Amino acid sequence: MRIAIVAAEIGPWAKAGGLADVIGALPRALARRGAEVCVIAPAYPALTAALETHPIGDTRSIEMGGAGESYRVLGARTPAGIPLYLIDHPGMFGRAGIYDENGKEYSDNVRRFVFFGRAAAAVAADLVRPDLIHAHDWHAAATVLAMRAEPALRDRMKSTLAVFTIHNLAFQGIFESHDFPLLGVDWPWYSVEVLEFWGRVNLMKGAIVLADGVTTVSPTYAWEIAHDPELGFGLDGVLRAKRDHLIGILNGADYDEWDPARDRFIPKPYSPRRRANKKFCLDVLRDDLDLPHPAKAAAVPMIGMVTRLTPQKGVDILAGALDSLMALEIQLVMLASGDPALEKIFQAAVDRHPDRMRLIAGFDNALAHRIMAASNMFLMPSRFEPCGLTQMYALRYGAAPIVRATGGLRDTVSEFNPRTRAGNGFLFADYDAAALSDAVARAVAIFRHPAKWQLLVGNCFRSDYSWDRAAEHYLRLFEQLRAERGAV
C-alpha cells in the first residue's frame, strides 16, 4: 500500500509536541511492515537546514480567496530513508516557530494551514498518487477537504482513501465564515452536515465527516470524545455518527530514542538486568540540581515531571496538592514550560521546600532524558490525555507512572497490586488534589518496601508499547477500508 502521511510536525527537526514524535516514528514502523510511505510537511528552516533537499518540478500556485499563493516542492529523505515532500513557502513557513513565537500564536495560522493542507493534497495527487492519505490533526484537515470537495482534485482523488487522526480534539481549526473562500470549495459545503459549526467554519469537523476512517490516539480517548460532552468539545455527536469508522489506536513509544540501555544523554546506561546504574543517574541529578542526598535513600523517592504548564496537564490540582506531597518526604523535579503565572506558583513552592523540589523552566531534551533516568516515579495528573507518550518512556526507564485514569494513561498504566504482583503504576480517578495525593501516598508506601518495589519496577520494564504494534493496527484498518471501498 502506498501511503502519504500529512502533518505539520515531524521529529526531531520540527517539533512542538507529541505529534512530531508520532510522525518521526510511525512512517518507519509502517515501512518495516512493507508499506510504501512518504511524509508531506511544511519546509521549515529547521528541516531544510538539517536535510539535503532538491526542488521537484516547477513553481506551483494555489488560489486562496482571490489571492494566489506560489510555492515550491522540495524533496528529501530522512536518515531512515523515508521520502519527504516539503511545501516550500517562506512567507508562511520560514519562521522561528511552528505555531507561535515567544509564546504568541501566529495570527495567520488558519491561512497557513489551510494553504498547507490544500498544497499537500495537490502534491499527493500530482507527485505521489497514494492509495491512502493519512492526515493528522486540524493543521492537515484541509487535505481531506480538498480531496473530497475541491473541484480540481475530487474527481482525480476519488479512489484515494482518506484517514484522519485526532491527536487533541481541543484544537479544531475554527475560523470565521467570511474566510470560507480560503478553502477553494463551493459554498454548499458550508453546511451543518460538513463544515458549519455555530456560525463558523470548523476544519476538523469537515475532515471527520469526509474521511473514510477516523482514528484517535488511544482506545479510551476514542470513547471519551464520543460520549463525554466535556471532552468532545462540541463534536461528540459528529463522532458518534462516525462510530462505525472511529477507532482508537494507541501511539507507540520511540524506543530508538528512549531506551536507558543506549541513551547517550544519561550518565550511565542501565537495563532490567543491570539496574544499579539507575541509582547512579539519580545521584548525579541530585548533585547537578543541588538537591540533598537523603540519609536513607530507600525512604525518599524522586518523582519526575516533564510537562507543559497548562490546565490540561493537571498542574492546577498539583499546585493544590504540593504541600501535602512534600509532607510525604519525597523529592520532586519538574522540567516545565508554559503559563508564567503557574510558573510563579511552582517557583514559590520551591522556595518553601528547597530540599524537596526543583523547577527548571523551559524545555531541554537532554535534561528530560536525565530526569527520566533518575526518577523512581513519574507524575502525569492530566485533566485529559489523548494518548501520552511520556508515561510509556517512564515505564521503559523503570520509573513507575502515577497518572490520572484518562485517555491513553488509562490504557497503558494499571494499578500495582502487591498481592497479585500485577500492575505497573498508580492511578487516580477524581480530578482533585486529594485523589492525586492519595495516589502518590500509595506509591511512596510501596517504595518503602524494597522487595515490593522491585517487583513493580520489573513490571514497568516489561511493559512494551512499540511502534511496530501500532503500525500493525493502522495497516489492518487501512486494509479494511480498502476492502470496503472495493465492495462498494
111 in a domain, yes or no? Answer: yes
Same domain? For 357 and 451 the reply is: yes
As a whole number, the mean pLDDT across the chain is: 95
> Where are the extended beta strands (E) located within 78-131?
83-88, 100-101, 104-105
- Closest to 222 (Cα-Cα) out of 236, 203, 205, 207: 236
139 in a domain, yes or no? Answer: yes
Quote the pLDDT of residue 156: 95
**CA 358/CA 348 separation, integer angstroms:** 11
Instruction: Answer whether 141's CB lies under 8 Å from 134's CB.
Output: no
Residue 269: cis peptide before it, omega within 30 degrees of 0: no
Quote the pLDDT of residue 339: 85
Q: Which DSSP state fits 242?
A: T
Same domain? For 400 and 420 the reply is: yes
For residue 438, the enclosing domain spans 276-464
- Asked whether residue 202 carries a pLDDT value surpassing 60, the answer given is yes
- Asked whether residue 488 carries a pLDDT value surpassing 70, the answer given is no
**CA 138/CA 144 separation, integer angstroms:** 10
CATH code for the domain in which residue 326 is found: 3.40.50.2000
Of the given ranges (20-24, 398-402, 435-439, 455-459), which has the lowest mean pLDDT?
Answer: 20-24
DSSP strand pairing (60-64 vs 331-338):
unpaired
Same domain? For 186 and 322 the reply is: no
Give the CA-trace dihedral at 284, 286, 292, 293, to 10 degrees.
-50
Instruction: Answer whether 115's CB lies under 8 Å from 88's CB.
Output: no
**CA 464/CA 392 separation, integer angstroms:** 8
Quote the pLDDT of residue 487: 61
Phi and psi at residue 432, to the nearest 5°? -155, 165
Instruction: Answer whether 372's CB lies under 8 Å from 399's CB.
Output: yes
The mean pLDDT of 316-324, rounded to a whole number, is 95
With cut-offs at 50, 70 and 90, classify the pLDDT of residue 16.
confident
Same domain? For 475 and 457 the reply is: no
Query: For residue 420, how many C-alpha atoms fall within 13 Å in the half-sphere facing its CB?
Result: 7
Q: Which DSSP state fits 449?
A: S
Quote the pLDDT of residue 225: 97
**pLDDT (tens digit, 9 = 90+) per residue, 116-164?**
999 999 999 999 999 999 999 999 999 999 999 999 999 999 999 999 9
Q: Which residues contact 114 (CB under 8 A, 6 or more apart)?
A: 64, 142, 182, 183, 203
Quote the pLDDT of residue 49: 96
The rounded percent of the chain whose pLDDT value lies above 90 is 92
**At how many degrees (to 10) do helices 433-447 and 315-326 cross?**
50
**pLDDT (tens digit, 9 = 90+) per residue, 38-97?**
999 999 999 999 999 999 999 999 999 888 999 999 999 999 999 999 999 999 999 999
Same domain? For 156 and 93 the reply is: yes
The rounded percent of the chain whose pLDDT value lies above 70 is 99
- Closest to 251 (Cα-Cα) out of 219, 208, 214: 219
239 in a domain, yes or no? Answer: yes
The identity of residue 94, as a single letter, is G
> Where are the extended beta strands (E) located within 339-394?
357-361, 377-380
**pLDDT (tens digit, 9 = 90+) per residue, 205-242?**
999 999 999 999 999 999 999 999 999 999 999 999 99
Same domain? For 445 and 345 the reply is: yes
- Closest to 253 (Cα-Cα) out of 460, 463, 393: 393
Locate 159 and state its grid cell: 479512489
How many domains, the chain? 2
**CA 381/CA 306 separation, integer angstroms:** 12
Same domain? For 248 and 125 the reply is: yes
Distances (CA, A) of 465 to 23, 134, 250, 254, 376: 16, 21, 8, 9, 20
Distances (CA, A) of 327 to 193, 209, 355, 356, 379: 54, 51, 12, 10, 17
Q: Which DSSP state fits 127?
A: I
270 in a domain, yes or no? Answer: no
User: How distant is the alpha carbon of residue 127 from its chain centre?
Assistant: 28
Locate 48 and state its grid cell: 531544510
265 in a domain, yes or no? Answer: no
Quote the pLDDT of residue 419: 95
Q: Give the chain's end-to-end CA distance (angstroms, integer).
A: 19
Instruction: Answer whether 368's CB lies under 8 Å from 375's CB.
Output: no
Secondary element (H or E) of residue 396: helix 390-396
Same domain? For 475 and 434 the reply is: no
With cut-offs at 50, 70 and 90, classify the pLDDT of residue 261.
very high
Quote the pLDDT of residue 106: 96
Quote the pLDDT of residue 295: 85
**pLDDT (tens digit, 9 = 90+) per residue, 360-387?**
998 888 999 999 999 999 999 999 999 9
164 in a domain, yes or no? Answer: yes
Quote the pLDDT of residue 17: 81
Same domain? For 291 and 224 the reply is: no
Q: Which residues contact 106 (CB under 8 A, 6 or more apart)?
A: 95, 97, 99, 100, 112
Of the given ranges (114-118, 170-174, 482-486), which has the lowest mean pLDDT?
Answer: 482-486
Same domain? For 143 and 84 the reply is: yes
296 in a domain, yes or no? Answer: yes
Quote the pLDDT of residue 103: 74
Q: Which residues contact 338 (CB under 8 A, 6 or more apart)?
A: 308, 309, 310
Same domain? For 78 and 125 the reply is: yes
196 in a domain, yes or no? Answer: yes
Quote the pLDDT of residue 447: 97
